Structure 1
Amino acid sequence: MDTTSSKLIERIQSLEEMNEQLRTIINFSSDGLYVVDPQGVTLEVNTAYEEMTGISREEVVGKNIRDLVFVEYFDRSAAYMALQSKKTTTIMQRIKKRKYFVATATPVLDDDQKVKMVVTSVRDLTYLNHLQNQIKKAEQKETTPSPITSASQPEEAPFVFNSAEMRSLAEKAKQIAAFPTPVLITGPSGTGKEVLASYIHHHSPQNKHSFVKVNCAAIPAELFESELFGYSNGAFTGAKKEGKPGLFEQANHGTLLLDEIGELPLPMQAKLLRVLQDQAVTRIGDTKPRQLSFRLICSTNQDLKTLVHHKQFREDLWYRINVIHLPIQPLSKRKGDIAPLIDYYMHHFCQQYGLRKHLSSSAKEVLTHYPWPGNIRELKNVIEFLVVSTSSDSITSRDLPDHMKDKSQVDAVVLRQKEAPSATNNLNLKEALTLFESQQILRALHASTSLRSAAKLLGIDHSNLIRRMKRLGMTYRRPKDN
């Protein structure tokens, strides 16, 4: 072996030892670390990241962060934002739809100011964020003698539409806003039920008072009563000496939105009915009822009538809250709203991030004809991702997620199957195989609690299932209880 070869081998061994030392140092960090190359391909994650996120190194190393976003490992990527801006970027990131983290992405630049890699530090703030919210609420209560009259008013959420269906709905909402009648808003997730509720509040006589939003699915069952009704001095161990007003009291003279009302436990349904009938609430540990006056709006993506039939929702409560029913159609059934929503969120995110981006005609054509199964929420997330992840000012159809570019053919096949089941015989071999494959994957997903268990049921590995779902334009939404 000549001297040059020997030195080269020594150099390689030295680099390998250095890499191993760096990996050891990285793994000693208590923060989660995630490293990508200039193209966004994952190079390394440390042990802390694996432990706090539940994502193993093998799942992500070698994969592009953009692809991981669109298979819903993350809701968005700080690393991509840092790649574009070449500046340290901090965002709140949701991983695997379960926990929230603060992600700070720092680009490492060479002498020519080109990005060599991006190192993202990830901290688990799910619990701390909850504590901070509780502290803020406590501070507000201490500094605000009456949350009823001096509660600050949030800005009205944008109500963007152009379709005849939504114009009719908006007119009806504005008309009934003047009366304190209970309203039930129904529609699939992400269609804008909360925005419509806010629209009603801002056009009502209660608009100078509080608009209190309660996610019934997010409050643990054991905390429902204390959160909604409040508690008196010394009601239980750990209770505040001065007691605490519940959400009903905070909404007094204003509007109370009970989102995902179908998730309300049956015992609480009975107590809610009593509050609505008596227009009064009694705090836990108290005997004196407090008279209230608030506008009640409920929203749900479930069929409450079916829940009533199955004894999962009280029939008397359903009649009480279903005085005015405002159904919102999915975005796929009101295509006239897609273009103005795209324009609104393009302007919104360009302004938010200080960028000047625009959609090419080809990209907008694809976006306006995409069925948007995730409705407005999906549209908003996709537009934000396109604004921050594309390198040029013009966003073209090449920048769109693969599942959008490839989905049209699958949608056409599925649509034909829905409209005419007997038409299956008219499909060519490729269409029939695509339809069969998508049906089998859907069945496995519905019968499983995770992508891994669905892959096992199908007899394929996890990464294979993800690739097939991307090709078919399918997305996975984790069940609510996870």
Structure 2
Amino acid sequence: MSVQGRNPENFHVEDYLEAVLDNFHDGIYITDREANTVYLNHSYELISGLRKSEMIGKNMKDLVEAGVISMSGTLAVLQSGEPVTSEQIFRTGKRAVITSTPVFDGEDHTNLVMVVTLVREITEIYSIRKELQRKEQQNRRYMQELERMRRELDGDVELVAVAEASRKLVEFANKVAPVDMPVLLWGEKGSGKCRMAKYIHAHSKRSEAAFLRVDFTAVPKGDLETYLFGTPGNAEHEPQIGLLESADGGTLYIEELADMPEDIQGDLLALLRDRCCVMKEGYLQKLNIRMIVGSRYSIPQLEQMSSINRQLLQHFSLFSVEVLPLRERREDIIPLIDFFLNQYNYKTDQDKHFDRESYQCLSAYPWPGNIQELRNLVQRAAIISAGDVISVQDLFLHDQVEKVGQRKEMFTYPDQTDLKMEVAKFEAGYLEHAFQRYGNIREAAASLGMDSSTFVRKRQKYEQLGLMKNEKKK
């Protein structure tokens, strides 16, 4: 409506008041003293996604109870009689600062006639603030990761792979690294699953982004939602970026799939399937994250667990590989010992080395704790050894040394033998003895320093070779 050329004497502002209010950049919402909606302008419609035709005459209490509006400054004003300022998130995903002010009839401020609410959108400001904070937290994580990598040396992410099984594992990693698909790495604790996940990340298109890991058993259940999704923030507290947003663009490694709480499996499924997640504010957040999970259990074993979401498991079943325990890839033992000892020498500017008897003892040791145990033992032996030569006494494996010596004295080596079969017979004997002694798989496996899944797999293998009795046929 144009007012050009009108006589100023005939011009009345109130005739154009609604047009003026509709052109305000801020939203305006007005209710009467009973909290009934009497007016809202066009900007409020754009911010809230609500329509004037739907809202006029509606009571604010009913709107809040129905979930149309998350909270109401109007009701707070009617209760206190004072102006109220707060933040609000609308169903459009837009955020706003709302200021609700009481309007009184007369100067005595006793007769409240209406409540006027001004709605200033801060979605863009909030997003910028949140992005800055996300970058700050991400930078802190990068610095922590860089510092950790510096302490462990840059080459630590590379893999020692001398045994045939290890070389095949590296080949698998090199093939899946650029594919950008979910991966399941399964095997005993300490066998190197996390190191393998880092290797895949380092050789992927995401190598410049973050590699973050989560152990669900280490996060208190009450803090898990905040840990993963962050907090939206309010007038008093800054928003906190969760782990998922921090991993955006990078790789998230989950220590144990079987430990993942059931109530978040749906969220991670949506992240895998749709690359988006419902954040605590209630809006969908696009996130580009590659997930690699570790587990003590294979896919068939995980499928037997009612606590694991079947659709989630399907995403990891396409690329699944076993990381074998160290005792099943013994060719890697000496190279790993040298690798970790060289790391120690580099960091401490020393020239330590193991003597021949120590190498023999370490090669014969069963390594129930796998690579992690080996690394700890190498570092401990290097620290406590008096000189540059690390001897058997520095290993604190006297029982194992004596057993190795006894076997040497009692055993006569034949000129020719099938070594694999002899090793299989030896291991099958231990498995059968442990099962007969304890009567159940879990305790028998624990007594041999392995998990139940490995025990079952080995027993089935040796039953097929005729080296063990088939317990089911008894």
Q: TM-score, normalised by structure 2?
A: 0.55
**Which amino acid is 1:340 matched to?**
P
> Of 122, 125, 138, which aligns to 1:147?
138
What are the superposed Cα offsets for residues 115-141 of structure 1, whole Å, 9 maximum, x if unpaired?
Answer: xxxxxxxxxxxxxxxxxxxxxxxxx98
2:393 equivalent to 1:393: no
Separation (CA, whole Å) in 1 of partners of 2:221 and 2:243: 15
Deviation at 1:270, TM superposition (A): 2.3
2:267 equivalent to 1:267: no
Distance 1:240 1:334, change over 3 A: farther
**Which amino acid is 1:314 matched to?**
N
In the TM superposition, what are the counterparts of 1:354-373 in structure 2 within 5 Å?
Answer: 354-373=349-368
Residue in structure 1 matched with residue 428 of structure 2 by the alignment: 419
> Of 241, 244, 266, which aligns to 1:245?
241
Separation (CA, whole Å) in 1 of partners of 2:329 and 2:297: 20
Separation (CA, whole Å) in 1 of partners of 2:386 and 2:439: 35
Separation (CA, whole Å) in 1 of partners of 2:380 and 2:251: 34
Separation (CA, whole Å) in 2 of partners of 1:272 and 1:313: 12
Q: Is the 8 A contact 1:279 1:292 kept in 2?
A: yes
Residue in structure 1 matched with residue 168 of structure 2 by the alignment: 168
Deviation at 1:204, TM superposition (A): 0.6
Separation (CA, whole Å) in 1 of partners of 2:351 and 2:439: 40
2:346 equivalent to 1:351: yes
Deviation at 1:262, TM superposition (A): 1.2
Separation (CA, whole Å) in 1 of partners of 2:386 and 2:213: 38
SS of aligned partner of 2:214: strand
SS of aligned partner of 1:231: coil
Q: Is the 8 A contact 2:134 2:246 kept in 1?
A: no
Q: TM-score, normalised by structure 1?
A: 0.54
Deviation at 1:396, TM superposition (A): 2.3
SS of aligned partner of 1:178: helix
Separation (CA, whole Å) in 1 of partners of 2:251 and 2:223: 21
Separation (CA, whole Å) in 2 of partners of 1:330 and 1:305: 19
Tell me how many residue pairs correspond in the alignment: 297
What percentage of aligned pairs have identical amino acids?
27
Residue in structure 2 matched with residue 406 of structure 1 by the alignment: 402
SS of aligned partner of 2:178: coil
Deviation at 1:337, TM superposition (A): 0.7
Q: Is the 8 A contact 1:183 1:296 kept in 2?
A: yes
Q: Is the 8 A contact 2:385 2:391 kept in 1?
A: no
**Which amino acid is 2:166 matched to?**
M
Which has the larger Rg? 2
Separation (CA, whole Å) in 1 of partners of 2:183 and 2:349: 39
In the TM superposition, what are the counterparts of 1:298-317 in structure 2 within 5 Å?
Answer: 298-317=293-312
Separation (CA, whole Å) in 2 of partners of 1:280 and 1:142: 20
SS of aligned partner of 2:321: strand
Residue in structure 1 matched with residue 122 of structure 2 by the alignment: none
SS of aligned partner of 1:287: coil
In the TM superposition, what are the counterparts of 1:69-468 in structure 2 within 5 Å?
Answer: 144-145=135-136, 147=138, 151-152=142-143, 154=146, 155=149, 157-234=157-234, 241-284=237-280, 286-400=281-395, 401-408=397-404, 416=425, 418-420=427-429, 446=443
Distance 1:145 1:349, change over 3 A: closer
Q: Which runs of 5+ in 2 are unaligned?
A: 1-130, 412-421, 452-474
Deviation at 1:174, TM superposition (A): 1.3
SS of aligned partner of 2:271: helix
What are the superposed Cα offsets for residues 5-30 of structure 1, whole Å, 9 maximum, x if unpaired?
Answer: xxxxxxxxxxxxxxxxxxxxxxxxxx
